[in-house]
Structure 1
Amino acid sequence: MWMRLIILLSVLAGSTVLHGQIAIGGKQFERSLTERGAKGEWVLYEKGAPQNDGTRRWLTRKV
């Protein structure tokens, strides 16, 4: 189980570094390179959406 989690996180991290995009639940999200959460969480916006408080999402270990 842990190996699958490590592989998944590696793939997500690799795709984010290369493209700045992540697919979660069939939706495409773009990572904000200028914003971070208080504990280092990634800030994501749905692809094509305006970057404001209404469209902001946080990527944590719970996702």
Structure 2
Amino acid sequence: MEIDLVFKIAAIGIIVAVLNQLLIRSGREDQAMMTTLAGLVVVLSMLVQQISTLFVTIKSLFAL
């Protein structure tokens, strides 16, 4: 696992948390929830790509 990925996920988490708090304090709870969900989707898509790479590596390692 690359350390870049951890830093990217942490940065996205911090940005989403700040935006979430700003939107909640301004009375826009619906948009805050959508921002949180968008951040979750972005992080999950990054993880799915890494898991796919892992499976390809394992497949080539065992020559399946």
Do they fold alike, i.e. is TM over 0.5? no
Larger relative CO (CA 8 A, sep 6+): 1 or 2? 2
Q: Considering fraction of residues, name the structure with more helix.
A: 2
TM-score, structure 1 as length reference: 0.38
Structure whose CA Rg is larger? 2
The structure with the greater share of residues assigned to strand is: 1
TM-score norm. by structure 2 comes to 0.37
